């Protein structure tokens, strides 16, 4: 089967035409009647009018006595008036006012006499301290107009006005159909080739957060008839259907054909990335949206194409996204053909908002979890340079970005532990760490993009760590080097060391597949240095050019069997239950620029580094030595 031709229609045009097509087919809000006490957050279908007045009788607004105002007119401080028991009625707040009374005097303004009479020293104005009939709501008055979201106070006003049921816009029901032979229900021990079904959980959480109901249907295998049957059923039962995966041009990508046979396809292919193979379909008034299988692509398609339909249905006001200007820390290259959505991590360093692009992979769902914002690169633009000021749509509150400690540099799992401890200590503080290697960290500090950088750079001249690099890259000072931990570096190999790797030079043995770290990382510099010292020709090492960005990703490659050996730290080997051949202890320190030193985030982190809790945590991870964490190292 050949590949189908996909359209490349601009997003805004697709969105507009899709809604128009749906509306012409009868798409739009449906209503239901519900008890008022369950209506908070719902949208009124039509105006709500009061059936009765509130209050529906004249009520005392105070604790005191009801009187006839004219019998008090002559009362002053010097000429008090005494009222006999038959001239007043003792009552409490909310009590009805007797017909022959027209004012209330507060209990603290009366003097009780022994004979049951009372004396007052001021005249009561007619209707003082009395809540008149309809003071709050008058019968027949409009309590809420149409298409208003019901607030807690509005529920009270409606019940007071005698309204016990209202007609609201029914939540649209979104049916979600996961498809694919390889997709299995979530479990903890998937076999190679199995993919755990999580898109259904992501999409249902998203649509629920926008006010819709979600129904996730059972996973359907890649069988045309079965998919068609399930889509037909979902279209009968729901208002909107998300048909997940099978959207592109593969052998078993049936979505577009299924939708076409059941209804129609307006567009297959939108000029957005991720998300280009989206299918905009319908069956009469029912939405059938073909959403790509990759989770990130799916999230973007649902946010960009389904959310506007849910908003239209719910008569919700258009969402007001917040955009901020931020400095891009790395270049973003984009194809001219598509509008691109790039997830970015953000932080505020030295008063400037920074945006660091996250993984662009459509399968990297964690990039969305980590993202503080989305950089939207318009169609027709080739991208942006590092250092350029760009406009970013915020996903995180601005306040969080101002309270985030930005750490860029060498990766170590202890940074995650520090992030956890910092946030436990003060729930307003966060850490955002990007792993670009020790040299990358030094450069980020030089460019003013980070509050802190993790660094472990070996000076091959004298075997010392970090200090020589600080002197070289910060000749005028301006930074402090803070002691953190000593780390056991070594070779990670599969459990039982099947290839009998004993020493560093064994990475060049025949049949051994090495996995390396990226250039500029301290571990790579160490590996290069050891190759030189042990006379290992890097060209003879299988996989020396295969680069991973973190210790844990190197360990994961070995654990999965796609590589046999890699350099890394003990804690990563332990995490993946790998064997470990120790090579050396290195110093992992933190570089802090002077401008960041006094920020609450840096000070809180230094406090944690010096704590017993940190020492205990680090020693429990294994493979670390802890000497003087948090102390400034003289340069």
Ligand X SMILES: Nc1nc2c(c(=O)[nH]1)N[C@H]1C(S)=C(S)[C@@H](COP(=O)(O)OP(=O)(O)OC[C@H]3O[C@@H](n4cnc5c(N)ncnc54)[C@H](O)[C@@H]3O)O[C@H]1N2
**Residue with tokens 């493979």, as numbered in its chain:** 623
Stretch that binds ligand MOO, among 41-49, 269-277, 303-311, 516-524 (CB under 6 A): 269-277
8 A C-beta contact, residue 471 and residue 553: no
CB 276, min distance to ligand X, A: 5
Q: Hey, what's the torsion of the CAs at 553, 272, 375, 305, to 10 degrees?
A: -110
| DSSP per position, 118-137 | EEESSPPPTTTTEE-TTSSB
- When asked if residue 297 is in the footprint of ligand MOO (CB under 6 A), the reply is yes
CB 303, min distance to ligand MOO, A: 13
Give the one residue of 88, 294, 514, 588 binding ligand MOO; rule: CB under 6 A. 294
- When asked if residue 292 is in the footprint of ligand MOO (CB under 6 A), the reply is yes
Quote the CA–CA distance of 590 and 438 in Å, as a whole number.
Answer: 10
Which residue, 340 or 412, has its beta carbon nearer to ligand X? 340
CB count within 10 Å of CB 464 equals 13
CB 292, min distance to ligand X, A: 4
Quote the CA–CA distance of 491 and 500 in Å, as a whole number.
Answer: 12
Rg of the chain on CA atoms, in Å: 35
Give the one residue of 64, 175, 275, 454 binding ligand MOO; rule: CB under 6 A. 275
CB 280, min distance to ligand MOO, A: 14
CB 233, min distance to ligand MOO, A: 27
- The half-sphere exposure of 234 on its side-chain side, counting CA atoms within 13 A, is 32
Quick one: angle between helices 413-425 and 600-609, nearest 10? 110
Which residue, 207 or 541, has its beta carbon nearer to ligand X? 207
Which residue, 337 or 352, has its beta carbon nearer to ligand MOO? 337
Tokens standing for residue 167: 């007609």
| DSSP per position, 13-68 | HHHHHHHHHHHHTT----EEEEEGGG-TT-BBSS-EE-SS-BSSS-EESSSEEEE-
CB 244, min distance to ligand X, A: 5
Which residue, 75 or 375, has its beta carbon nearer to ligand MOO? 375
- When asked if residue 629 is in the footprint of ligand MOO (CB under 6 A), the reply is no
Quote the CA–CA distance of 580 and 18 in Å, as a whole number.
Answer: 57
Tokens standing for residue 244: 């997940």
- When asked if residue 293 is in the footprint of ligand MOO (CB under 6 A), the reply is no
**Contacted entry of ligand MOO, ligand X, none for residue 372, CB cut-off 5 to 8 Å set by kind:** none
CB 390, min distance to ligand MOO, A: 21
Q: Hey, what's the torsion of the CAs at 543, 545, 546, 552, to 10 degrees?
A: 100
**Contacted entry of ligand MOO, ligand X, none for residue 180, CB cut-off 5 to 8 Å set by kind:** ligand X
What is the number of the residue whose Cβ is closest to ligand MOO?
297
Quote the CA–CA distance of 313 and 304 in Å, as a whole number.
Answer: 15
User: If we measure between CA atoms, which residue out of 135, 136, 116 comes closest to residue 65?
Assistant: 116
- The residue ranges that bind ligand X (CB under 6 A) are 178, 180, 183, 195, 197-200, 244-250, 253, 274, 276-277, 292-295, 297, 362-363
Give the one residue of 199, 244, 329, 362 binding ligand MOO; rule: CB under 6 A. 362
**Contacted entry of ligand X, ligand MOO, none for residue 329, CB cut-off 5 to 8 Å set by kind:** none
CB 292, min distance to ligand MOO, A: 5
Question: How far apart, in Å, are the Cα atoms of 193 and each of 180, 183, 291?
Answer: 11, 9, 21
- Residues 6+ positions from 152 with CB-CB distance below 8 Å: 40
CB 518, min distance to ligand X, A: 25
3-state SS, residue 464: coil
Quote the CA–CA distance of 142 and 158 in Å, as a whole number.
Answer: 10
- What stretches of 135-198 show up as alpha helix (H) in DSSP? 152-160
Tokens standing for residue 430: 């966060």
Stretch that binds ligand MOO, among 29-37, 200-208, 268-276, 519-527 (CB under 6 A): 268-276
Stretch that binds ligand MOO, among 179-187, 289-297, 538-546, 580-588 (CB under 6 A): 289-297
Stretch that binds ligand MOO, among 290-298, 395-403, 435-443, 454-462 (CB under 6 A): 290-298
**Contacted entry of ligand MOO, ligand X, none for residue 409, CB cut-off 5 to 8 Å set by kind:** none
**Contacted entry of ligand X, ligand MOO, none for residue 64, CB cut-off 5 to 8 Å set by kind:** none
- When asked if residue 276 is in the footprint of ligand MOO (CB under 6 A), the reply is yes
- When asked if residue 274 is in the footprint of ligand MOO (CB under 6 A), the reply is yes
User: If we measure between CA atoms, which residue out of 175, 161, 71 comes closest to residue 118?
Assistant: 71
Stretch that binds ligand MOO, among 45-53, 224-232, 267-275, 411-419 (CB under 6 A): 267-275
- Residues 6+ positions from 540 with CB-CB distance below 8 Å: 508
Stretch that binds ligand MOO, among 9-17, 234-242, 291-299, 438-446 (CB under 6 A): 291-299
8 A C-beta contact, residue 303 and residue 393: no
**Contacted entry of ligand X, ligand MOO, none for residue 246, CB cut-off 5 to 8 Å set by kind:** ligand X
Which residue, 274 or 347, has its beta carbon nearer to ligand X? 274
Which residue, 11 or 394, has its beta carbon nearer to ligand X? 11
**Contacted entry of ligand MOO, ligand X, none for residue 183, CB cut-off 5 to 8 Å set by kind:** ligand X
Question: How far apart, in Å, are the Cα atoms of 291 and each of 269, 279, 471?
Answer: 11, 7, 53
Tell me which residues touch ligand MOO (CB under 6 A).
273-277, 292, 294, 297, 362
């Amino acid at each position: 089967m050949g590949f189908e031709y996909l359209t490349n229609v601009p997003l805004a045009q697709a969105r507009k035409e899709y809604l128009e097509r749906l509306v012409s087919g009868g798409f739009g809000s449906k209503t239901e009647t519900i008890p008022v006490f369950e209506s908070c957050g719902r949208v009124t279908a039509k105006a709500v009018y009061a059936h009765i007045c509130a209050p529906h009788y004249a009520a005392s607004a105070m604790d005191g006595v009801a009187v006839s105002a004219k019998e008090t007119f002559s009362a002053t401080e010097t000429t008090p008036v005494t009222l006999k028991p038959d001239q007043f009625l003792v009552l409490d707040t909310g009590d009805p006012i007797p017909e022959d009374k027209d004012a209330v005097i507060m209990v603290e303004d009366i003097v009780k006499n022994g004979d049951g009479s009372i004396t007052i020293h001021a005249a009561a104005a007619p209707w003082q301290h009395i809540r008149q009939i309809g003071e709050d709501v008058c019968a027949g008055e409009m309590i809420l107009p149409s298409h208003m979201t019901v607030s807690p106070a509005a529920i009270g006003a409606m019940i007071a006005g005698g309204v016990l049921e209202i007609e609201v816009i029914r939540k649209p029901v979104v049916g979600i159909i996961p498809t694919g032979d390889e997709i299995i229900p979530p479990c903890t021990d998937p076999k190679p080739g199995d993919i755990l079904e999580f898109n259904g959980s992501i999409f249902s959480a998203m649509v629920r957060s926008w006010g819709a109901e979600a129904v996730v249907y059972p996973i359907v295998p890649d069988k045309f008839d079965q998919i068609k049957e399930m889509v037909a059923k979902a279209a009968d039962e729901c208002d909107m259907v998300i048909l997940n995966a099978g959207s592109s041009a593969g052998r078993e990508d049936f979505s577009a054909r299924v939708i076409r046979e059941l209804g129609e396809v307006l567009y297959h292919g939108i000029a957005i990335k991720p998300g280009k193979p989206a299918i905009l379909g319908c069956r009469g008034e029912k939405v059938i949206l073909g959403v790509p299988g990759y989770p990130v692509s799916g999230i973007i398609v649902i946010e960009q194409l389904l959310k506007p339909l849910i908003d239209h249905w719910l008569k919700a006001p258009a969402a007001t996204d917040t955009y901020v200007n931020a400095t891009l820390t790395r270049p973003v290259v984009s194809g001219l053909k598509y509008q691109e959505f790039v997830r970015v991590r953000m932080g505020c360093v030295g008063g400037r908002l920074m945006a660091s692009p996250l993984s662009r992979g459509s399968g990297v769902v964690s990039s969305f979890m980590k993202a503080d914002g989305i950089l939207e690169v318009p169609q027709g633009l080739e991208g942006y340079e590092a250092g350029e000021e760009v406009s970013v749509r915020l996903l995180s509150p601005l306040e969080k970005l101002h309270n985030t400690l930005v750490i860029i540099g060498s990766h170590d799992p202890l940074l995650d532990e520090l992030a956890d401890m910092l946030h436990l200590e003060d729930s307003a503080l966060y850490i955002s760490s990007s792993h670009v290697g020790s040299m990358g960290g030094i450069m980020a500090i030089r460019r003013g993009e980070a509050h802190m950088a993790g660094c472990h750079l070996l000076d091959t001249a004298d075997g010392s760590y970090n200090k020589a690099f600080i002197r070289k890259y910060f000749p005028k000072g301006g930074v402090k080097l803070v002691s953190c931990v000593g780390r056991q570096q070594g070779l990670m190999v599969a459990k039982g060391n099947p290839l009998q790797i004993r020493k560093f030079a064994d990475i060049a043995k025949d049949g051994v597949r090495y996995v390396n770290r990226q250039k500029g990382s301290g571990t790579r510099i160490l590996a290069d240095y050891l190759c030189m010292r042990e006379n290992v020709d890097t060209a003879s090492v299988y996989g020396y050019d295969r680069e991973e960005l973190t210790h844990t990703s190197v360990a994961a490659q070995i654990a999965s069997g796609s590589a046999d050996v890699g350099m890394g730290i003990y804690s990563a080997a332990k995490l993946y239950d790998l064997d470990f051949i120790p090579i050396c202890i290195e110093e992992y320190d933190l570089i802090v620029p002077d401008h960041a030193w006094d920020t609450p985030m840096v000070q809180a982190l230094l406090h944690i580094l010096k704590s017993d809790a940190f020492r205990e945590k680090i020693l429990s991870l294994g493979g670390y030595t802890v000497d003087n964490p948090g102390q400034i190292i003289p340069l």
